[in-house]
Amino acid sequence: MSGQLTTFVAEAIRMAVPYMACGLGAVLTERSGVVNIGLEGALGVSALCAAVGAIATGSGLVGLGAGVSGGAFYCLLHGVLVVRARVDAMVSGIALTMAAYGGGRVALRLLYGSASNSPKVPGLPGLESTSAVLRVVSEPALLVFGVAAGMLVLVLERTRLGLRLRASGDNEAAAEAAGVEVGATRLWASVLSGVACGLGGVHMVFDQRQYDAGMTGGRGFLALAAAILGRHRPGATLLACGGFAALEAAQIAWQDSLKLAPELVRLLPFVATMGLLMRGRSGMALARGRLWR
């Protein structure tokens, strides 16, 4: 493989994790009827928790646990606000994103005395290899995410919780009439979605061996768009996430040979999504569930 192509493949796989994590998180929460536009914040919070946990104990495993818990807690908080406190899902999503961003900066200042990034984070050991692709693929956080993603999809499609989750989002009244506790189901869905996003945050931190305040870079928002483009089906959504990752990777691999300014290249996924949204009424998929018509 040529150098650029290797870089492209390695980067695409690496970049895909946060996208896919949030995409899967979006599918899980929205299929249950709770729209969460704050997944960007979930990514950031779990990254911060992973960094803090790993730095404080020196253990990557603790970091992993802390990151996943942080993401799950964040999404559960959103679920509680929306389901129990009847806060508009959009309001809660945007407020929690703001709080996550501000909270991240505050934590960096108070804990590490830095305005923008954490000290080096001890991650989990991967394979030492000369092949960039192999190094990326053997990153333990990526492997954990891969296994968890598979399990979450199975939960959604093959278990009681998944069945009830889908029923709650698709026809709340029917689910209630069938004896499903819709509120509780939605809270569980929020937790699952937080776990998915959490693994994305953990991967970003372990992969870069540090946390910085702006590291999520809008990927959580794009993942929402990916879920819409994938019509909230896990397979199609993950594919769309892969597409975003490939765009981002291509920009890194071929940035020297491109004539475009890097800012403009970075816009590509956003502009491409706008174009795709023009295709049809797919945007309305975000409207599923009674919480957001």
Partner 1 sequence: MEARGVTCRFGDKVAVHKASVRLFPGQIHALVGENGAGKSTLLKAMAGAVVPTEGEVWIRGQRLDPATPAEAIRRGVGMVYQHFALVPSFTGMENLMLGVEPVGLLGWLRPSVTRARAEEIAAMTRLRVHLDVPAASLSVGEQQRLEILRVLVRGASLLLLDEPTAVLTPGEAQGLYELLRRIAKQGAAVAVVTHHLEDVSRYADQVTVLRGGEQVFQGAVSEVTTAELSLRALGEIPAVKRPTAVGGEAPELLVVVGLQAEGLDVKELRVRRGEMVGIAGVDGNGQEALVEALAGLRPARGSQRLGGCELAGAPPSARRAAGLEVVHGDRHRFALLAGATIHDNLVLGDLGPDEEAKVVRRMAVSGLIPADPSLQAGTLSGGNQQKLVMARALDRAPRMLVAAYPTRGIDAAAAAQIQQRLVAAAEGGAGVLLISGDWSELRTIAHRLLVMRKGRVVAELPPDVREQELGRVMLEGS
Partner 2 sequence: MSEAVSRPSLPPGVRRGVWSVVVVLLLFDGLAFLAGEAPRVALLKALEGTWGTMYGLGQVIYKATPLLLTGLGFRVALRAGLFNIGVEGQLLLGSFAAGVVASRLPSSTPWPLGVLMSLGAAGVGGAGLGAVAGAMKVKFGAHEVIVTLLLNRIVEALVPYVLRRGVGVTGYRSGDAISGALLPRLEQLSEVFRGSAASLATVLALVVCLLVLRWERSSVTGREFGWVGLGAGVCEAQGIPGGRRLWQAMALSGGRAGLGASATVLGYKGYYELGLGAGAGFGGIAVAMLGQGSAVGLVGAALLLGTLQQAGLVLNASLPREAMDVLTAAVLVAASAGRGRR
| Non-local CB neighbours of 17 within 8 Å, separated by 6+ positions | 141, 142, 145, 199, 200, 203, 204, 207
| Among the listed residues 266, 232, 267, 239, the one whose alpha carbon sits nearest the alpha carbon of residue 34 | 232
Whichever of 151 and 284 has its CB closer to partner 2, that residue is 284
Helices 60-79 and 89-107: crossing angle in degrees, nearest 10, is 150
Q: Determine if 173 is a binding residue for partner 1 (CB under 8 A).
A: yes
Q: Determine if 171 is a binding residue for partner 1 (CB under 8 A).
A: yes
| Among the listed residues 50, 9, 79, the one whose alpha carbon sits nearest the alpha carbon of residue 216 | 50
The token pair at 246 is 């490939």
**How many CB atoms within 10 Å of residue 154?**
12
Which x/- pattern, by CB under 8 A, does the window 151-170 give for partner 1? ----x--xxxx-xx-xx--x
Whichever of 62 and 276 has its CB closer to partner 2, that residue is 276
Cα–Cα distance for residue pair 264/251, rounded to 1 Å = 10
Whichever of 11 and 172 has its CB closer to partner 2, that residue is 172
Which x/- pattern, by CB under 8 A, does the window 101-140 give for partner 1? ----------------------------------------
Whichever of 205 and 286 has its CB closer to partner 2, that residue is 286
Please check whether residue 232 is in contact with residue 166, taking contact to mean a CB–CB distance below 8 angstroms: no
Of positions 62, 76, 94, 252, contacts partner 2 by CB under 8 A: 94
| Non-local CB neighbours of 29 within 8 Å, separated by 6+ positions | 35, 36, 75, 79, 189, 190, 192, 193
Of positions 20, 48, 82, 141, contacts partner 2 by CB under 8 A: 82
| Among the listed residues 238, 208, 210, 214, the one whose alpha carbon sits nearest the alpha carbon of residue 226 | 238
Of positions 12, 22, 89, 180, contacts partner 2 by CB under 8 A: 89
Q: How far is the CB of 103 from partner 2 (least distance, A)?
A: 5
In the block, tokens 């830095």 appear at: 114
Q: Determine if 253 is a binding residue for partner 2 (CB under 8 A).
A: no
> Could you list the residues that contact partner 1 (CB under 8 A)?
155, 158-161, 163-164, 166-167, 170-171, 173-180
> Could you list the residues that contact partner 2 (CB under 8 A)?
37, 81-82, 85-92, 94-96, 98-99, 101-103, 105-106, 109-110, 218, 221-222, 224-225, 228, 261, 263-264, 266-267, 270-271, 273-274, 277-284, 286-287, 290-293
